[in-house]
Amino acid sequence: MTEQNTIDNQQARYARQRILGVIGETGQQRLLDARIAILGVGALGTHVADTLARAGVGFIRLVDRDLPELSNLQRQILFDLSDVERGVPKAAAAAERLSAVNPGIEFESLVTDINPTNIERMISDVDLVIDGSDNFELRYLLNDAAIKHSVPWVYGGVISTHGMSMTIRPGISPCLRCVFPESPAPGDAPTCDTAGVLGAAVAMVASIQSTEAIKYLTGDHESLSQNLTMIDLWEMSFRQVSLGVRNPSCPACGNHDFAFLDRQAPRQTTDLCGSDSIQIMIDPAPSLSLESLANRLRDAGEVSYNAYLLRLKLNGYQMTVFPDGRAIIKGTTDPGEARSLYARYVGM
């Protein structure tokens, strides 16, 4: 394709966006030159990735540790039944789908767990980060890394029929710990397992996140929200709470005490939201040959593998192993049992 054809295609693709007074030619070019990272390619992450890919954000890094499951299809719009059956990780499946939507932009898919040892590499070279995570521990970690590297990010969360979002600009706006000094204690807050999620509420919050991202990336920083936006779509209620000013005593943005980022060793086991599964992490991460591991496990159960992962089914369990040694053990919520299965079949 010639350079002129590429220019003509871009003119046609973004025509309705270019004539928007708030974006225009200059704003569209800024989008094409922009780089973002989306941490978590689940409900919010897929909606935001789809919107921003279609808007023409030039580079999109997609980071997620998980595989699509049947229960995801109700609200995670970049996946279908074939992705569940193929066993392709979410980040890779999303990049594949979005490349077909807009081949003119660059996608990078990282199939990995986000933790203190790798998050800085994920966000330090982008203009903006979108929160697509499902837990506050990861958000506090992102908050620390974003402040350290002066990278703005857009928080979003949805549970049941309600959700919230806010835009955080290090050094300018209050950070996550200014607004929420402490994360909810275990058992205090509802989860997707206990309260469910309305897909339309996800779309609403993702639309807010995407719009804030477009405002920032096109340079219209004056229009960015100064509030925590809270919605309940079932009740059709919308509330704005002023974020006020930064807390000078905030441990993160005030004192630069990065407690979450300084936890260098990731937790060995994690209970995964929305499924009877435990994730196993190995630190330091090895480099596994999935082909060799598959050959070794042939007599243990039903084994299949591809470039991204190996899957072993046996005795009511499903073990998914990644090249970096990380594994998801489905069929148990007992960390001890999960570690035992991992040690028995993979080794630790």
Separation in Å, CA 226 to CA 39, 215, 217, 233, 240: 23, 13, 17, 21, 9
Please tell me the total number of residues recorded for the chain in this structure. Answer: 348
DSSP for residue 72? G
Tokens (6 digits) for 234: 């079932």
Is residue 64 a contact partner of residue 158, using CB atoms and an 8 Å limit? no
* 175, 178, 192, 250: the active-site residue: 192
Inter-axis angle of helices 24-33 and 199-218, to 10 degrees?
A: 100
Q: Which amino acid is at 95?
A: A
247: Cα within 13 Å, side-chain hemisphere:
14
- The yes-or-no answer on residue 192 being catalytic is yes
Longest dimension (CA), the chain: 64
Tokens (6 digits) for 273: 């939201």
The per-residue DSSP string of 128-165 comes to EEEE--S-HHHHHHHHHHHHHHT--EEEEEEEBTEEEE
Is residue 44 a contact partner of residue 165, using CB atoms and an 8 Å limit? no
Write the CB contacts of 152 (distance below 8 Å, at least 6 apart in sequence): 127, 128, 129, 146, 167, 168, 169, 170, 216
How many beta carbons lie within 10 A of that of residue 150, not counting itself?
Answer: 11
Q: How far apart are CA 290 and CA 74, in angstroms?
A: 31
Active-site residue list: 192
